[in-house]
Amino acid sequence: MPKLNIVVLAAGLGKRMYSALPKVLHPLAGKPLLMHVLDTARVLSPHTTCVIYGHGGETVPQTIADESLVWAQQVPQLGTGHAVMQALPHIEEEGITLVLYGDVPLTSTETLQRLIAITGEETLGLLTVELPDPAGYGRILRNEQSEITAIVEEKDASASQRNIREINTGIMAIPNRHLHRWLHKLENNNAQGEYYLTDIVAMAVEDGVKVEAAHPAHVWETIGVNSKIQLAALERIYQTAQANKLLEQGVSLADPSRIDIRGKLSCGRDVMIDINCIFEGDVQLDDGVKVGAHTILKDVRVAADSIIAPFSLIEAAEIGRNCRIGPYARIRPGTRLEDEVHIGNFVEVKNSALAVGSKANHLSYIGDAVVGRSVNIGAGTITCNYDGANKYQTIIEDDVFVGSDTQLIAPVRVARGSTIGAGSTITRDTPPDMLTLSRAKQLSIDGWKRPVKKPKPKN
């Protein structure tokens, strides 16, 4: 297989995005458009990947920050042919160059592999597609033998040529032994005054180089983004494709049109996902997991048969088997829940470990804590782990019962079998198997009168 170079054109302004953010940095499925293209390119194991940037200046390379990439700036922007010229110092004489676009994010690896497979030292490969309405695209011209002879841009096309439905996607694979010479022969004698990369197709035909076409599995693989409307439409296309993959794997989705996957979601058997759930980063749901509506999971593993109730937010955490989370629970980074742990409504857990069978069912905060087995944490309990400058740890050993409205002032250890009376503020370690409480003496004031509002002055 010939050595592969990849050139990604990412210099466009994106006027119709109406944004200071360079077009290729706008997010689709949670990551920049350009990152989708680069992630696909990486799978192809290229010798060199050169990204051509322009508008936005150093914002694009600084945001992507990948040392394996070669960057070349295009100033001014004089067309696609001029853009590829900027990559020539990084392209060897042998092998092939695959040209991709930073605003065309969903081209699959399989489609690009088919394009590369038909390209050789004497073959130019084009990715083409037929559209019911080809308006705005360059048309593929073929002779009577159905051989590709040229590409004509719409602004330069005749009336009959504009009726052609096969269009150029812009993605092509070019033999390097010809690329350098063809690019230097480009002229800008066209309606836009630009150097079109597509003009090398006619040069290839003139030089006796065969021009072959490959086709994507889906038309949407070739769709680019030039406006927020197109970006939103492509987001739904992407999410629909992800939902269909899950359904094919046996995942139950309450509504496939209301799920957002912004990373990688892996599911076991009999997983059920309700509406409007968002999955970010790397999420793994094992067999029998149920995720309630309006839940957000980011970089989370949920073990088998656990239930995440609606409106829960879980990030960078591990959830054991048969756990019950939520509704309205927040599990923050660094948390590890072992099997059969219950975290209830309006409970927040941060950087803490809870052992098997422990529960915090209502309105509590557990931060920087190690909680043993079979611990019950009452409503309104908080670990006071921060003194304004430093964080401290709370240790709650096995079989502890913490009464409601308790403050545990870290660093503190609650010994095995302890019971903490409701309303207590615990500042020192507790002894095992004893009741500990701290309360002010209850008083009732005889003759006390509740304040009343003063009457408003009359006008």
User: Angle CA(109)–CA(251)–CA(28) in degrees, nearest 5?
Assistant: 45
Residue 381, exposed/middle/buried by CB under 10 A (0-12, 13-18, 19+)? buried
Beta bridge partners of 318: 301, 336
Tens of pLDDT along the chain (459 residues)?
679 999 999 998 888 999 999 999 999 999 999 999 999 999 999 999 999 999 877 899 999 989 999 999 998 889 999 999 999 999 988 999 999 999 999 999 999 999 999 999 999 999 999 999 999 899 999 999 999 999 998 888 999 999 999 999 999 999 999 999 999 999 998 888 899 999 999 999 999 999 999 999 999 999 999 999 999 999 999 999 999 999 999 999 999 999 999 999 999 999 999 999 999 999 999 999 999 999 999 999 999 999 999 999 999 999 999 999 999 999 999 999 999 999 999 999 999 999 999 999 999 999 999 999 999 999 999 999 999 999 999 999 999 999 999 999 999 999 999 999 999 999 999 999 999 999 888 889 999 898 898 888 887
Host H or E run for residue 42: helix 33-43
List the domains of the chain with CATH numbers.
4-222 (3.90.550.10), 244-436 (2.160.10.10)
- What the block records as the tokens of 154 is 């719409």
- Lookup result for tokens 């010479």: 181
In sign, the C-alpha dihedral spanning 90, 92, 93, 99 is negative
DSSP annotation string for 107-175: --HHHHHHHHHT-BTTEEEEEEEE-SS-TTSPEEEE-TT--EEEEE-GGG--TTGGG--EEEEEEEEEE
Cβ(319)–Cβ(304) below 8 Å:
no
Cβ(123)–Cβ(246) below 8 Å:
no
- Lookup result for tokens 């490959």: 214
DSSP annotation string for 45-105: --SEEEEEEBTBTTHHHHHH--TTSEEEE-SS---HHHHHHTTGGG--SSSEEEEEETT-T
Active site residues: 362
